[in-house]
Amino acid sequence: MNYLSVENISKSFGELTLFSDISFGINKDQKIAFIAKNGTGKTSMLNIIAGLDSSDTGQVISRKGLNIEYLSQEDNLNDNLTVEQTIFDSGNETLKVIEEYEHALKNPEDENEYQRAFEKMERLNAWDFETQFKQILSKLKLDDLTKKVCELSGGQRKRLSLALILIHKPDLLILDEPTNHLDLEMIEWLESYFEKEKITLFMVTHDRFFLERVCNEIVELDNGGFYTYKGNYSNYLEKKEARIEQEQASVDKAKNLFKKELDWMRRQPKARTTKSKSRIDDFYVIKEAASKRRNDHEVQLEIDMERMGTKILELHKISKSFDDLKILDNFDYNFLRGERIGIIGKNGTGKSSFLNIITGEIPVDSGKVVVGETIKFGYYTQDGIVIKPGQKVIEVIKEFGEYIPLTKGRKISAGQLLERFLFSRKRQYDFVEKLSGGERKRLFLCTVLIQNPNFLILDEPTNDLDIITLNVLENFLLDFPGCLLVVSHDRYFMDKIVDHLFVFRGAGEIEDFPGNYSDFRAYEDSKPKEDTIEIKKPESKTKLPVTKAKLSYKEKKEFDGIEGEIEKLNSEKSNIEAAFLDSSLSGEEINKLSIRLQEISNLIDSKEERWFELSSKLEE
């Protein structure tokens, strides 16, 4: 069933054309990811589809009565409402009934009000809905419902906006970077939620694990062309590589033909026949095809960074608290040359504060931070770059350095570094105010790198960066010979870049885990699971007769074995997902694994549905 059709839409701002003549459709139950470089119009595309902006050409046609919800980068929450009021401030009938019921619970002396609210809950079968939305709030760590929206942090506001659209269960959900401001536990819960729920998605995300596990189609805007790939992220990588190889072969063929036609053009007399004029017209078409080139850049740098002495960075029994919140408790660690450490943990456990302590921006309560004399920090913070009016891109980076020295006396200039991070020569002379949010983050990253640090500290460097830029950054960091300390919720990035982890458990507890994120996840999954939240339906004060059928012998036998089957399927699913990290997999192997993964997901869904069906027939 078609939900929405995009027909020949285009968008320009002055001389800058973001995209032109784009057409595609969104059908029921599709989970589509939209991939493009920063600054090429991803957010503009989402705004047009959501009806918040208009296209210069073409149209967007949606199914009559289609309910669309949009999670944008900027929220439109009412600062004067509490979290609870924000949730219930909706036209959703079921939410209104739940609000009445919650109010009745706070006034137990009014039995009539309680009974009316209870009966409405029964009539709309709102108990499951209430359970689900409370679980959503719990998973997104929105526990204080009395807190006003104006008192929430940026991350909390984003999570509240996400909770609202999940609770409303729209027909089509449009998401702009949904994993930003979520910790790893929340991201994995959201993955699981989208996998199980029959929901239609169209989203922009840089989280490649999320793409792998959630999406069943990827659309890409690349060098002016619009391409569609069925399947998940692994399949997209394989098919894109094949497409680029085919395009390059066409360009090579056109170049050979161009040389031949160029020679013919040079030998032609001024007088042209009709036949030669036709060939001349063809010549210019061939010339355009032969001159096509991709703007992809591989970063392979042998950086000649400043020498590191024997003393790098020493943390001697450091402690830090903010009022009752303890983030460090007598933490000891001596950094070695070339260490690459990732930091993970729930929001609010002190990850960013830890980085600020290391760089001297926040003092410790006790203990000592000793920095080696030869250490030069490069610190990428979440604050981003300070924009000066009238400043051009190249001018910003030259304030911090003119070049990075390479081995054997070579060097890379500021302009060349910008090119490697996808700023064309023309773009380097644009005003900074014209850059998109992702491009500004990319420029900020270049200002850190041009200073040639030997100890890089990166706080959420992947936020707002597109996948193309992430690949460039990863290649740079793989070449980087110094120490690296990075906070990130991007699991793919962490697996590729770091060797071991600091796991912030909360209350000052930090675990030094010897492995990457996938190793840590496998370790955590092997531990006993905590019980999930269960909100039981209360009894009416006027007893309502309830009758439930017993299971037959065959059904009881099926029920007893179904949990074990689900456990085995989940185990196989985890093994397949881990196998995708193996870069040596062939295209055929990736296809087989993708097909099997989809089969397992479908089996798990059907087994779980059957389990709930049978459990509902059990006598209390």
Pull the structure tokens for residue 91.
């036209």
| Lowest mean pLDDT, pick from 22-26, 296-300, 313-317, 458-462 | 296-300
Q: List Cα–Cα distances, 350 to 142, 154, 215, 591, in angstroms.
A: 18, 16, 32, 41
Partners of 501 in the beta sheet? 342, 513
pLDDT tens digits along 437-456: 888 888 998 999 889 899 99
- Residue 370's contacts (CB-CB under 8 Å, 6 or more residues apart) are 311, 313, 314, 315, 316
| Lowest mean pLDDT, pick from 163-172, 395-404, 476-485, 597-606 | 597-606
Query: What count of other Cβ atoms lies within 10 Å of the Cβ of residue 479?
Result: 12
- CA dist 195 and 214 (Å) reads 6
Task: State the pLDDT at residue 294.
Answer: 43
| Lowest mean pLDDT, pick from 61-70, 83-92, 285-294, 381-390 | 285-294
- CA dist 435 and 438 (Å) reads 8
Pull the structure tokens for residue 495.
């697996």
CA angle 506/205/15 to nearest 5° reads 135
Q: Is the pLDDT of residue 531 over 70?
A: no
Chain mean position to CA 142: 20
- CA dist 202 and 46 (Å) reads 8
Q: Is the pLDDT of residue 619 over 80?
A: no
Higher pLDDT, 511 or 568: 511
pLDDT tens digits along 542-570: 333 333 345 565 666 677 678 778 878 88
Task: State the pLDDT at residue 620.
Answer: 43
Task: State the pLDDT at residue 546.
Answer: 37
Task: State the pLDDT at residue 376.
Answer: 93
Q: Which helix (H) or strand (E) holds 248?
A: helix 233-267
- CA dist 448 and 264 (Å) reads 52
By DSSP bridging, strand 455-459 and strand 483-487 are: parallel
What's the pLDDT band for 604 if we cut at 50, 70, 90?
Answer: confident
- CA dist 5 and 11 (Å) reads 17
Q: Is the pLDDT of residue 259 over 80?
A: no
- Residue 458, exposed/middle/buried by CB under 10 A (0-12, 13-18, 19+)? buried
Q: Which helix (H) or strand (E) holds 340?
A: strand 340-345
Query: Maximum CA pair distance of the chain?
Result: 103
- Residue 212's contacts (CB-CB under 8 Å, 6 or more residues apart) are 232, 233, 234, 577, 580
- CA dist 415 and 418 (Å) reads 5
Task: State the pLDDT at residue 593.
Answer: 79
- CA dist 353 and 367 (Å) reads 15
- CA dist 172 and 3 (Å) reads 8
pLDDT tens digits along 451-497: 989 999 999 998 878 888 888 888 888 888 899 999 998 888 999 89
Higher pLDDT, 534 or 504: 504
- Number of residues in the chain: 620
The candidate with the shortest Cα–Cα distance to 350, out of 506, 143, 488, 512, is 506
pLDDT tens digits along 160-217: 999 999 988 899 999 999 988 888 888 989 999 998 888 899 999 988 889 888 999 9
Rg value, the chain, Cα = 28
Q: Which residue has the tokens 């000592």?
A: 368
Q: Is the pLDDT of residue 363 over 90?
A: yes
- CA dist 81 and 261 (Å) reads 70
Q: Give the single-character DSSP code of 390.
A: T
Task: State the pLDDT at residue 176.
Answer: 92
- CA dist 71 and 492 (Å) reads 23
Task: State the pLDDT at residue 299.
Answer: 45
- CA dist 458 and 486 (Å) reads 5
The candidate with the shortest Cα–Cα distance to 486, out of 375, 354, 325, is 354
Pull the structure tokens for residue 110.
């009014």
In 335-456, which ranges are continuous DSSP H helix? Answer: 351-358, 393-398, 414-420, 437-449
Q: List Cα–Cα distances, 384 to 182, 438, 440, 489, in angstroms.
A: 19, 10, 7, 18
- CA dist 19 and 2 (Å) reads 23
Task: State the pLDDT at residue 297.
Answer: 42
In 66-153, which ranges are continuous DSSP H helix? Answer: 83-88, 93-105, 111-124, 127-139
- Mean per-residue pLDDT, 251-277: 60
pLDDT tens digits along 97-152: 888 887 787 776 777 887 888 888 888 777 777 778 788 888 898 888 889 999 98
- CA dist 458 and 478 (Å) reads 14
Task: State the pLDDT at residue 543.
Answer: 37
What's the pLDDT band for 254 if we cut at 50, 70, 90?
Answer: low
Average pLDDT, the chain: 82
Contacts of residues 10-17 at CB distance under 8 Å and 24 or more positions apart, as own/partner, are 10/55, 10/56, 10/57, 10/58, 11/41, 11/44, 11/45, 11/48, 11/53, 11/55, 11/56, 12/56, 16/434
The candidate with the shortest Cα–Cα distance to 505, out of 376, 351, 610, is 351
Task: State the pLDDT at residue 265.
Answer: 60
Q: Which residue has the tokens 């679980």?
A: 135
What's the pLDDT band for 370 if we cut at 50, 70, 90?
Answer: very high
The SS3 call for residue 380 is strand
- Mean per-residue pLDDT, 23-27: 95
- Mean per-residue pLDDT, 344-349: 88
Q: List Cα–Cα distances, 519 to 27, 208, 504, in angstroms.
A: 37, 17, 16
- CA dist 318 and 330 (Å) reads 5
- CA dist 51 and 161 (Å) reads 18
